Chains A and B, each alone.
Chain A
Amino acid sequence: DGGITQSPKYLFRKEGQNVTLSCEQNLNHDAMYWYRQDPGQGLRLIYYSQIVNDFQKGDIAEGYSVSREKKESFPLTVTSAQKNPTAFYLCASSMTGGFSNQPQHFGDGTRLSIL
């Protein structure tokens, strides 16, 4: 079954610690995205990558970093510079980057909390 796998499902961060959220897809999609969702809110774009070895900042990139070394993987690091990291993080992919009229496919999210 093709899809997007996010891990872990729950993650706890201590003050001053960096944590990395995993996102893997086997859909052979070029584009991948990271969103943050706060309670009762919509999704906000953190970073996106239209093709391997390339990525761009979204609307709320401060305190986050990403890499895209492989087509199927797009890990997100929440750094200690992100002062309010508690949120639900969602990873998504779409077939090609930069072209409209494509749905995005989502993983089941990682819930990050502060200890």
Chain B
Amino acid sequence: SQQGEEDPQALSIQEGENATMNCSYKTSINNLQWYRQNSGRGLVHLILIRSNEREKHSGRLRVTLDTSKKSSSLLITASRAADTASYFCATDATGGGNKLTFGTGTQLKVEL
């Protein structure tokens, strides 16, 4: 079953703008992870935020986690054409032992 649901399903922005993607989930988690997938390729891990963390940064990426609302957001600042990809959230449920459940993804297109 899909635990995470990303919103929006698709997002188109201009280069230099910020992109925000949201993820909602259903059960208690150990952590939430964000991955990127370029067309026809495997997934690349971007960032992991633990359940006791509220915000985390990595370069142009900012992730927030609100466990009371069971939601997370991924912000990509100053987007570039190379950021064009699908972005997935994945949850590691409490007691799951590093088994991840992936959402359906947000397709981001960054236009020049």
By a beta-carbon cutoff of 8 Å, the part of chain A in contact with chain B is 4, 6, 31, 35, 40-45, 48, 50, 58-59, 90, 92, 94, 96-109, 111
Contacts and interface: CB of A to CB of B under 8 A. Distances in A.
A101 B92 contact: yes
Given A101-B50, A109-B42, A42 B2 contact: yes
B100 interface: yes
Contacts of A35: 102
Given A48-B99, A97-B97, A100-B30, A105 B2 contact: no
Interface string B1-15: 110100000000000
Interface string B56-84: 00000000000000000000000000000
Interface residues of B, number: 28
A82 to B, nearest CB: 19
Listed residue (A40, A94, A101) with the most chain B CB atoms within 10 angstroms of its CB: A101
A101 B99 contact: no
Given A6-B42, A98-B97, 12 more contacts: A35-B102, A40-B104, A41-B104, A42-B4, A43-B43, A43-B90, A45-B100, A58-B99, A97-B98, A101-B31, A104-B43, A108-B41
Contacts, number: 73
A48 B98 CA distance: 10
A92 B102 CA distance: 13
A90 B88 contact: no
B6 to A, nearest CB: 8
Contacts of B31: 100-101
Contact of B48 (A40, A48, A96, A101): A101
B96 interface: yes
Contacts of A42: 2, 4, 88, 102-105
